[in-house]
Each structure stands twice: as structure tokens, then as C-alpha cells.
Amino acid sequence: MALTQCYRQGDGWCIAFGYDAQKIEALKAAIPHTARSWSPEAKQWWVDKNYEIEMLRLFPDFEVFQKQPRLFE
């Protein structure tokens, strides 16, 4: 499953993807609840930057976003 949205925010990443119950369970299994949060209003996840390796395993296209330089500091 491809990410539909991905950008840096604070000390982590905001990501979004189409609804997939298995992918959501995989994300929850790979990233502890203390390192992720769900925003129902925005329909996106925030994931701590320390879990980038897990993000690459879950979302192969994450690498494209990860390599982009920050536009704003």
C-alpha cells in the first residue's frame, strides 16, 4: 500500500494511506503506542522519527519522502 500523504512534523512524520485493516494492525504491531498517534480529524498518523526503519518496511515508498530535504525549518 502506498502512502497518500507524508511530511515531517516536529520529531516525526505525518502519514496517510487508504484504509486497510491489515496495514493498520501491522503499523500498531511495529510501532509502540508511545511513538505513534492517530488524528481522526485529519485522518492521518503521526509516527516518531526513531521508527523510520519500521516505516520503510511497512511503506516502501516512504524512502522517497525520507530523502526529500526540508522545505521549511
Give per-residue pLDDT as tens, 11-66. 999 999 999 999 999 999 999 999 999 999 999 999 999 999 999 999 999 999 88
Whether residue 73 lies inside any domain: the answer is no
Reported confidence tier of residue 1, pLDDT bands at 50, 70, 90: confident
Give the domain extent around 9.
3-67
**CB within 8 Å of 14: residues ≥ 6 apart:** 5, 6, 7, 8, 42, 44, 45, 46
Whether residue 22 lies inside any domain: the answer is yes
Whether residue 30 lies inside any domain: the answer is yes
Residue pair 56/63 in contact (Cβ under 8 Å)? The answer is: yes
Whether residue 33 lies inside any domain: the answer is yes
How many domains are there within the chain?
Answer: 1
Whether residue 8 lies inside any domain: the answer is yes
Whole-structure pTM over 0.85, yes or no?
yes
